[in-house]
Structure 1
Amino acid sequence: MQEMRDAVKRAKEAQLEYMAFTQEQVDEIVKNAADAAYAKSLYLAQMAVEETGMGIVEHKKIKNEVGSKAVYESIKDEKTVGIIREDRVNKVTEIAYPYGVVAGIIPTTNPTSTAIFKALISLKTRNAIVVSPHPRAVKCTVEALKIVNEAAIQAGAPEGLIGWISKPSMGATNELMKHRDISLILATGGGGLVRAAYSSGKPAYGVGPGNVPCYIEKTAKVAQSVKMIIDSKSFDNGTICATEQSIVADRNIKEMAMRELKNNGAYILNSDEKAALEKIISPSPGKLNPDIVGQSAVKIAAMAGIQVPNDTRVLIAEETKVGKDIPFSIEKLSPIFAFYTAESYQDAKEICLQLLNLGGRGHSLSLHTNDDAVAKDFALEMPVSRILVNTLSSIGAVGATTGLMPSLTLGCGSFGGNITSDNVTARHLINTKRMAYGTKEVTVPKPAASSSIAEKEQAGSQDVDHIVSQVLQQVSPGGEVDAKMIADMVNQVMKKYQTN
């Protein structure tokens, strides 16, 4: 606890000093930090796999490169200091200012890449950051932060701008998020942690879970699509939250899809093997077994007493149901797939929707099709923030194979109970104040005295009553009326209202 408080204190002091830095100074610091992290991508990947026991070194290296180099390239030209926009026509000037000290919560699945990413976007926006690593990934997370921190200081950043908790606990993390000098929270982790971030009373960017359906529509290039799906699912053993979790395929391409899955290293489980693996995936309804997260398909199969070829990349079981008590239908964070057969296009949409409602609302959906109308229909109807079309969902969602903003924090929007649906980046870490000149003339009428208004209304009412009584008196016993007299009286009334 005291280590956390000391880190926040140093960060606040450093951030106040950092406020005086120019855009050029900030950009130089960010570049130096990004280059240093990129150069250590392999080293940090090796540390992460060794410490957490999750994932694949070569794949974590790519994630570190995305978190450093790709993120830097995407934010390097952003204005984050002083005047960032001027609208000369409407005479509005926008000025950026930072939040202050950011609390960064890092997951065990992507520890080094997320730490690098959050540190870089904080530096870019003149914020300080204090990080709480996952207890199972402390060493590699802190090492990544040290590399970024030392490079930033070498480029002129104040010491203390990047801090961390070297002995994290849930208590220390909660206290960090509630600390009076923390101005913003960047939380990446489990549902409980994200809820704690949102209930801390501070502005927070928390991201929800992903349970990404992958629909192979009948017009898709099946061989090409399946190769991408297996490459994506096996990438870092499925630890990215945007990784495909279930395949939904139209019946008329099912056999072709199954054949291509086998050709790409998938092992199709029989009914007995499926039953055995279900107990390993989820020992209790809706709860994922953490021991399978980020493990290889071969290792997970062995845990269930199933022998599979050594080159097996993914385990697949056919499924027809969706629910917390259906282990293959939940988010598995490992190279395990459920395979659903859709009887129709509408059936495919319904299965995808059920899977999202189970645990992935707001996150992402993977689609393989050559029909633009299908893609647009899914984009319009599915409750997700990202539709990844004909690409690897896992790394496509983070911007590696798409034009999306490179990010290791993917918002789920209101569908997932998040404040943003964006790929979170530097622009989310600045506030904007606006200076606006008057551009429109307006005449404000002077109010009349309330007493004179009332008197005028009362007098008008009396005049109308008098005229009406005169009209009635003109009606003869035989029902005849002096038309000229009534016309004159009506004219008097109209004239009175027009002058009022």
Structure 2
Amino acid sequence: MPFSADNSHVDALFSQARLAQADYEAYGSQARYDSAAQAAAWAIMEPARNKQLAELAVEVTGLGNVPDKITKNHRKTLGLMRDIADAQTFGILSDDAKTGITEIARPLGVIGAVVPSTNPAATPANNVINALKCGNAIILSPSPKGVSCCEMLLAFIHAEFDKIGEDKRLVQMIPAPGSKADTQRLLELADLAVVTGSQDNVRRAYSSGSPAMGVGAGNVAVIVDETADLAAAAAKITASKTFDNATSCSSENALVVVDAIYDAFLDAMGAQGGALVPTAQAAAIVARLWPDGHLNREAIAKDADVLIEKLGMAGSVPAGTKFIAVETDGIGPDHPLSGEKLSRVVALYRARDYDDAVAITKRILTYQGAGHSIGLHTADIDRPVDLGRHMPTCRVIVNQAHTFATGGSFENGLPFSLSMGCGSWGGNSIDDNLHWKHFIQRTKVVRPIPAREPSLDAIFSAYWEKAGK
């Protein structure tokens, strides 16, 4: 990529990070790595600082709301600290006399992390904690709107580092104002490039020449089948869809409801604050939410009252409306409701039966969001596994509030993360939630052992019986 500006300041920043990481590793220990990670975690979790970060994030990005960002900063970080509390990331991991192999934990080096404006504190904190836990240094490249929030987070982390005598150069950021050229240079220099957010940045990371982990786009579709507990499903969908004003990539973007319980579900949804917009009015919503072919920045990630006003729905939806469900049957680039909306708007599809619901959901994923996740509200124990066997998705979230479940939850076994790998379906190198295991590598010491060479008969006898020699 041709650079429009001198990037020597990025090189200088990286050189300092490289020096700090070399010392961190040379004089490292599990206790030191753990202490640094704890310092970074407390920097964002301490209540007063958490509140400051949440308030600044909403102020400078215009996305989400303060109470939910406080909750996100706290719970995502607390969950991550639970996940890594007993993880060994330093020293000898295993010593197997049978194989003759000793595995030693080793850092990756200097991480370059690009972070989005939707989570300008929680996502960089998550990356910083994972990097430090595994013996790395890290340089952040925030989105333009998230620069001041990232600056505040780093100031808080460095203040905690002062308490424990840790090297501040381990956690740095590209200084304001930043640029695409600066970010590209960081991606090229990094020992590992980690990118959450813009798919353009993800592609840049994969083509940078550095090892890279990018995550795919979300466009969550959720099936509600005829066996579901409709009241519980509606409550969970509402809590998830409205959290932080739908800024999460795990926020429901389409509800696919089977005909047999469609009307009953609408009643349950309405009781939770979901307002129905019939098909006849869908075009008017599209015109206001995508006024020039792009999402309306005055409507996305806003509180319900602001969204309703911007969509021209004031006075035509019930008082207390929390989100809008727009009936549609269109899917694809000519039907923007079928894609990610970053707002308290969800597309509503009526399926003939469960099989039709699966077919609709697959068409939605094929258009946008493949690999990320789908949801299913059901009492059937076999349907979730069947979806997992046949749908282009890395996660099937069953009977849960999708936003809270996909990135790890205290009520499921997924690791806490703000970055969801989408596998080959989403053009990603990982299919897991990005977590600490992706920030470490292993050196294997390999010793000779007694030979374990099998005979041809031991390998091929069953095949020869079937096919002959």
TM-score with structure 2 setting the length = 0.90
Write the letter of the residue equivalent to 2:201. Answer: L
Structure 1 runs not aligned, ≥5 long: 444-500
Aligned equivalent of 2:97:
88
Q: Does 1:123 align with 2:132?
A: yes
Residue correspondence of structure 1 range 218-257 to structure 2 within 5 A: 218-257=226-265
Per the TM alignment, residue 290 of structure 1 is displaced from its structure 2 partner at its CA by 4.0
1:27 is aligned, of 24, 27, 34, to 34
Tell me the residue number matched to 1:8.
14
TM-score calculated relative to the size of structure 1? 0.85
Q: What is the 5 A alignment of 1:338-417?
A: 338-400=347-409, 401-417=411-427
CA contact (8 A) 2:417 2:433 kept: yes
Once the two structures are TM-superposed, the CA of residue 309 in structure 1 deviates from its matched residue by 4.6
Structure 2 matches for 1:78-477, cutoff 5 A? Answer: 78-165=87-174, 166-179=176-189, 182-271=190-279, 273-283=281-291, 287-307=294-314, 308-309=317-318, 311-400=320-409, 401-441=411-451
TM-superposition CA deviations, 1:18-56 (whole Å, max 9, x none):
112111111122123212321132221111111111111
1:304 CA drift (Å):
2.7
- Percent identity reads 33
**Greater Rg by CA:** 1
Question: Does the 8 Å contact 1:198/1:204 carry over to 2?
Answer: yes
Q: Please tell me the residue identity of whatever aligns with 1:294.
A: A
Shift of 1:271: 4.5
Distance 1:404 1:392 in 2: 14
Using the TM superposition, give the Cα deviation of residue 267 of structure 1 relative to its aligned residue in structure 2, in angstroms. 1.5
> What SS does the aligned partner of 2:113 have?
strand
Shift of 1:335: 0.9
Map Cα deviations across residues 378-427 of structure 1 (whole Å, 9 max, x no partner).
11111111111111111111112422000111111111110001111111
Asked if the contact 1:119–1:145 (Cα under 8 Å) also holds between the matched residues in 2, the reply is no
The residue matched to 1:422 in structure 2 has which SS?
coil
How far 1:310 moved relative to its partner? 5.2
Cα contact 1:98–1:430 (8 A) shared by 2: yes
Any stretches of 5+ residues in structure 2 without a counterpart? 1-6, 454-469
- Please list every run of at least 4 consecutive aligned residues from structure 1 whose deviation after the TM superposition is greater than 6 angstroms: none
| 3-state secondary structure, aligned to 2:105 | strand
Residue of structure 2 equivalent to 1:60: 69
The alpha carbon displacement at 1:282 in A equals 2.6
Contact 2:206 2:212 in 1 (8 A): yes
Structure 2: distance between partners of 1:189 and 1:56: 19
2:155 & 2:433 partners in 1: Cα distance? Answer: 25
How many Å separate the matches in 1 of 2:446 and 2:84? 27
Taking the aligned partners of 1:438 and 1:24, their CA distance within structure 2 comes to 33
Distance (whole Å) between structure 2 residues aligned to residue 149 and residue 396 of structure 1:
31
2:331–2:364 CA contact under 8 A, matched in 1: yes
Deviation at 1:311, TM superposition (A): 2.3
- Indicate the SS of the match to 2:373: strand
The total of aligned residue pairs comes to 440
Distance 2:432 2:264 in 1: 36
- 1:41 and 2:50 matched: yes
